[in-house]
A and B are shown apart, each in its own frame.
Chain A
Amino acid sequence: MTEAAKKETPKGLDQGIEVGASSLTGEKIEGVIKSVLDNETGARLKTYVDTCIHCGLCSEACHYYLSHDNDPRYSPVGKVKQTMWEMLRKKGKVSPEFIKKAAVISHTECNLCKRCAMYCPFGIDIAYIMSVVRRIIHRLGVTPLYIQDTAHSHAVTMNQMWVKGDEWPDTLQWQEEEAQDEIPCLRIPLDKEGADIMYSVIAPEPKFQAQLIYQAAVIMDVAGVNWTMPSGIGWDNSDMAMFTGDNELMGRIKRTHYETASRLKVKRIVMGECGHAFRSVYDMGNRWLGWREPPIPIVHAIDFYYELIKSGKIKIAKKYDQPVTLHDPCNVVRGGGLHEKARYVIRAICEELIEMHPNREHNYCCAAGGGVINCGPPYKMTRVHGNKIKAEQLFAAKAKGAKTLVTPCHNCHSGLEDIVHHYEVGLGLKFISDILYEVMEKP
């Protein structure tokens, strides 16, 4: 098999996996697996594996399992069986073919959404086990190509989308000028030392959703917030390295982010409507850097809008009149408890909120997060077919009258767009800020 791989260019779907796996040897695989298990894991992995009673009760937590007509290969524990159990049982002596399969399972058939942690009677953190698998895949160099490319972008530019040094302030100034047509004295203050808030976004915003920066600037301006954005690196709060298992790079990215805020002497970091970035800044990056909690308070957009509306800094002129349904993103709801605040905001800006079921902590994942959508086009249908259950959930909300689907997370937004399109659900998609910007009182 390795012979064939040498003779011709690998023809697999994913060059990252195929090319990476073509240079693997048994010794290398065994060495890396042993090294990760011995040096990078401890009581958690061991206790989880020893405690799991193989009851299968985590199965129904997983949207992939539910969407594939309860195919046990897609259950959380089923995915652990096909990856970690096998690595442990064979003490790392697994084949390159096995590693390729493990890369696909851990990277594209699990969103690390942790819904299963709420269904396991023992509270076993299966997403953590999948992260360890991804870490092994990373150290073997078999990470899917597209997400590895974003990780490379982080490493080179400190942002996820290869946004060049001059493109960033240029985009901000462009949006500032655009917004000045609406509010003539509006500014996007760059590098303002001592501002109350540093506003950070993910790189896809300047890359292709610049209107979100515009909207944020208008919200900040109208609310009279003393805010700033950094003109140089550290402005991007996103973090694909966290999902590829490149923990060292995750540390670099988060350090840059926190240090930028610290250099600007701001009191808090407010971030846009992104879920994974919240996970990285609020929960993961800080731990890697040795902080129990983030060194600077992190405020997600939901929380920030809640604050602005509750304190009366933003007033609503006319509520959004179409009935909306709210998708609770895993990282800010199961990972940050912002579900009630999100509902407060939605009720303040919309006439009617129609709940989808299940909701809050129990909401089904979008199947895009956890780096899955970042694995790119080869896996688009993996996540679309893997989330039929989401389409059913959305259809049910639509049947009750919902017209617009609100989701305060970038990955969810893009993933749900594909779901809505493929299954012809017929719901419009919006961020909270899209609606807030539309309905708020402006000078």
Chain B
Amino acid sequence: MHELYGLLTGPLAWAAFFVFIGGSLYRLATMLILVHKKEKFIFTYMSWKYSFRSIFHWIIPFATTNWKKHPVLTIVTFAFHICLFLTPLFLLAHIVLWDEAWHISWWSLPDSLADMMTLVVVGACVFYLIRRISLPEVQYVTSASDYVILLIVAAPFVTGFIAYHQWLNYPLFLNLHILSGEIMLVAIPFTRLSHMIFSPFTRAYMGSEFGAVRHAKDW
């Protein structure tokens, strides 16, 4: 278990961050090169003003018609994404690791709050799962990969929660937590989790077309 821990926090962690950052940059670059090669006109229609107008509306809960139509989903989605980002970045246990390895540290969340936020992420994953299974319009367009990416996202939080509370087999769950976190990082650029990378661009492009050409709102 100890050697595995060393492997997971050593070479595999390096590899995971490398693939995550490198892969994301690669996906971004290939998208931009493809635009340049085949749809150059997109650049000419992009507008900073309308890109941000659109992005701002969509990253504010209830600022768009569709968010208002789905209040529960909106609350869950925003809570989920906020917790998904903040919890791993500001978890004390993670910052301690950064401090030990690199002597860098920053503000951390109180553990009890981080605990709650973890539950929010896991709960939201359960909500998404139920939504996927029970809503016909979601079920109809669901494929196996949708469940897999849901699992990929939930796993680090579930295992982290178990490990933090030292339930069951602590060393095992700690390792599983690290492994699943690394899997998630690696998966982001190469699965539909890549909406993290691409959605600002698709949103910005639609915002630009609606704002500058169509003179209409897109929310």
Q: Which chain A residue lies CB-closest to B145?
A: A54
Of listed B73, B142, B202, residue having the most chain A CB within 10 A: B202
CB of B209 to closest CB in A, whole Å: 8
Check A46–B34 contact: CB distance below 8 A. Answer: yes
Contacts A43-B42, A123-B203 given; does A336 touch B214 at CB 8 Å:
yes
A-facing residues in B127-142 (Cβ within 8 Å): 135-142
- Near B by CB (< 8 A), chain A positions 44-72 give 44, 46-48, 50-57, 59-61, 65, 70-72
Chain B neighbourhood of A32, CB < 8 A: none
Q: Which residue of A lies closest to B219 (CB)?
A: A118
Q: With A46-B34, A57-B70 in contact, is A72–B140 under 8 Å at CB?
A: yes
Tell me the bound Cα distance from A335 to B64 in angstroms: 19
A337 to B219, CA, bound (A): 14
* Shortest beta-carbon distance from B65 to chain A in Å: 6
Q: How far is the CA of A374 from the CA of B150 in the complex (A)?
A: 43
Question: Which residues of chain B (16-70) have a CB below 8 Å from chain A?
Answer: 31-32, 34-35, 37-39, 41-42, 44-45, 54, 58, 64-66, 69-70
| B168 contacts partner chain A, Cβ-Cβ < 8 Å | no
Tell me the complex Cα distance, A41–B194, Å.
Answer: 20
Contact A51 B65 (CB under 8 A): no
Give complex CA distance A53, B69 in Å.
Answer: 19
CB pair B207 A123 closer than 8 Å? yes
Selected from A44, A72, A122, A287, the residue in CB contact (under 8 A) with B195 is: A122
Given A47-B202, A362-B65, check contact A121 B58 (CB 8 Å): yes
Of all chain A residues, which has the CB nearest B204?
A123
B66 contacts A337, C-beta separation under 8 Å:
no
Q: From the candidates A57, A123, A336, name the one contacting B218 in the complex (CB within 8 A).
A: A123
* Contact A118-B34, Cβ < 8 Å, known A44-B39, A56-B137, A123-B203: no
Q: Is the CB of A43 within 8 A of B202?
A: no
Cα of A292 to Cα of B35 in the assembled complex, Å? 16
Name the residue on A nearest B38 (C-beta).
Answer: A42
Interface residues as binary, B93-123 with A (CB distance below 8 Å gives 1, 0 otherwise) = 0000000000000000000000000000000
Chain A: minimal CB distance from B135 (Å)? 6
Choose from B140, B192, B207 the contact partner of A53 (Cβ within 8 Å). B192
Interface bin, chain A: 35 or more
Q: Are B44 and A118 in contact (CB under 8 A)?
A: no
A54 touching B138 in the complex, CB below 8 Å, given contacts A118-B219, A334-B214? yes
From A41, A50, A292, give the contact of B198 (CB < 8 A): A50
Question: Complex Cα distance A50/B31, Å?
Answer: 11
A59 to B140, CA, bound (A): 11
Q: How far is the CA of A266 from the CA of B95 in the complex (A)?
A: 68
Q: How far is the CA of A72 from the CA of B66 in the complex (A)?
A: 17
Main secondary structure of the interface of B (DSSP, over half): helix
B157 an interface residue at 8 Å Cβ cutoff? Answer: no
* Across-interface contacts of B45 in A (CB, < 8 A): 292
| Contact status A333-B216, CB under 8 Å | yes
Q: Does A81 contact B (CB under 8 A)?
A: yes
For A50, the chain B residues whose CB sits under 8 A away are 192, 194, 198
As a 0/1 sequence over residues 222 to 252 of chain A, the CB contacts with chain B under 8 angstroms (1 = contact) are 0000000000000000000000000000000
With a 10 A CB-CB cut-off, give which of B31, B42, B205, B216 has the most chain A CB atoms: B216
Chain A residue numbers with a CB within 8 Å of B79 are none
Chain B residue nearest to A337 (CB atoms) is B215
When A42-B39, A43-B42 are in contact, do A51 and B216 touch as well, CB less than 8 Å?
A: no
B143 interface residue (CB < 8 Å to A): yes
Q: Are A75 and B140 in contact (CB under 8 A)?
A: yes
Contact call B214/A292, Cβ cutoff below 8 A: no
Contacts of B69 in A (CB 8 A): 60
- A355 contacts the other chain (CB 8 A): no
Q: Report Cα–Cα, A81/B35, bound state, in Å.
A: 24
Asked if A201 lies at the interface with its beta carbon under 8 angstroms from chain B, I say: no
Interface string of B73-98 (1 = CB under 8 A from A): 10000000000000000000000000
How far apart sit A70 and B138, CA to CA, in the bound complex (Å)?
Answer: 11
- Complex Cα distance A119/B57, Å? 12
Rounded to whole angstroms, the CA-CA distance of A78 and B140 in the bound complex is: 7
Q: Using Cβ atoms and an 8 Å threshold, which residues of chain B touch A119?
A: 65-66
Q: Which residues of A contact B199 (CB under 8 A)?
A: 51, 121-122
B12 within 8 A of A: no
Chain A residues whose C-beta falls within 8 Å of the C-beta of B207 in the assembled complex: 123
Known: A42-B39, A122-B203, A123-B207. A56 touches B135 (CB 8 A): yes
Q: Is A361 an interface residue (CB 8 A)?
A: yes
A48 touches B38 (CB 8 A): no
Is A335 within 8 A of B140, CB to CB? no
Q: How far is the CA of A75 from the CA of B142 in the complex (A)?
A: 13
Q: Counting CB contacts under 8 A, is A418 at the interface?
A: no
Residues of B within 8 A of A61 (CB): 66
Indicate whether A77 reaches chain B with its CB closer than 8 angstroms. Answer: yes
Shortest beta-carbon distance from A113 to chain B in Å? 12
Known contacts A42-B34, A51-B194, A287-B41: A337-B216 contact under CB 8 Å: yes
Establish whether residues B44 and A51, one from each chain, have CB atoms under 8 Å apart when the complex forms: no
Q: Other than the known A42-B39, A65-B137, A81-B140, what 11 A-B pairs have Cβ atoms closer than 8 Å?
A: A43-B39, A47-B31, A55-B138, A57-B70, A57-B73, A60-B69, A72-B137, A78-B140, A121-B199, A123-B54, A337-B216
9 nearest CB pairs, A to B = A337-B215, A123-B206, A42-B38, A72-B140, A43-B34, A56-B138, A56-B137, A59-B137, A43-B35
Tell me the B residues contacting A by CB distance below 8 Å: 31-32, 34-35, 37-39, 41-42, 44-45, 54, 58, 64-66, 69-70, 73, 135-143, 146, 192, 194-195, 198-199, 201-207, 209-210, 213-219
Q: List 14 A-B contacts (CB under 8 A).
A: A42-B34, A42-B35, A43-B31, A51-B194, A51-B198, A51-B199, A54-B146, A56-B137, A57-B73, A60-B66, A70-B137, A81-B141, A121-B66, A292-B44
